[in-house]
Amino acid sequence: MVGTQTRPSLLYMVKQVELVVRSHLDELVKPEGITALQYTALTVLERHDGLSAAQLARDSFVTAQSMADLVRSLESRGLVRRERNPRNRRELLILLTDTGRELLERVAPAVRELEERMVRDLTSHQADQFRQALSKAWHALS
């Protein structure tokens, strides 16, 4: 029926949230001279330091080629370093530097504020349910 309004699809809504979060995150980290994608890679390393470029790319949701460029940029700024994997000398591991950790500490309050803003109209229980639902959706598709 023409003119009938339907609710937007869940996929559309998730994408809209992702785009607006990324836009806000880009603005938050811009003063530090990094992008939201670079911030994401740094936070992945903060949680799991010493990843291969391939694993970091997967965990950061970018292609291997994009990650190679991203790592070069972060390395040139002294935010990450590469070193040989002691268990596999052919593999390079990417590690967060102290400078990278300090950058994450500086932006952490603003990032927390953005997260709080995103769920401020939810009760604490609803925010927990939202996190659980997102986690379940991610696991279902991974």
DSSP 8-state class, residue 32 = G
Asked whether residue 116 is domain-assigned, the answer is yes
Which tens digits make up the pLDDT trace of 73-110? 999 999 999 999 888 888 899 999 999 999 999 999 99
Q: What CATH number is associated with residue 104?
A: 1.10.10.10
Tokens (6 digits) for 48: 């799991």
- Long-range contacts at 39-44 (CB < 8 A, ≥ 24 apart): 39/107, 41/67, 41/70, 41/71, 41/74, 41/80, 42/74, 42/79, 42/80, 42/96, 42/100, 42/103, 42/104, 43/104
Tokens (6 digits) for 56: 């970091």
State yes or no: pLDDT of 115 exceeds 60. yes
The pLDDT-based confidence of 20 (bands split at 50, 70, 90) is very high
Predicted pLDDT at 17: 95
Predicted pLDDT at 69: 95
Asked whether residue 14 is domain-assigned, the answer is yes
Asked whether residue 39 is domain-assigned, the answer is yes
Query: What residue numbers bound the domain in which 29 lies?
Result: 10-141
State yes or no: pLDDT of 121 exceeds 70. yes
Number of folded domains that form the chain? 1
Asked whether residue 4 is domain-assigned, the answer is no
Residues 6+ apart with CB under 8 A from 126: 119
The pLDDT-based confidence of 4 (bands split at 50, 70, 90) is low
Strand partners, 92: 84
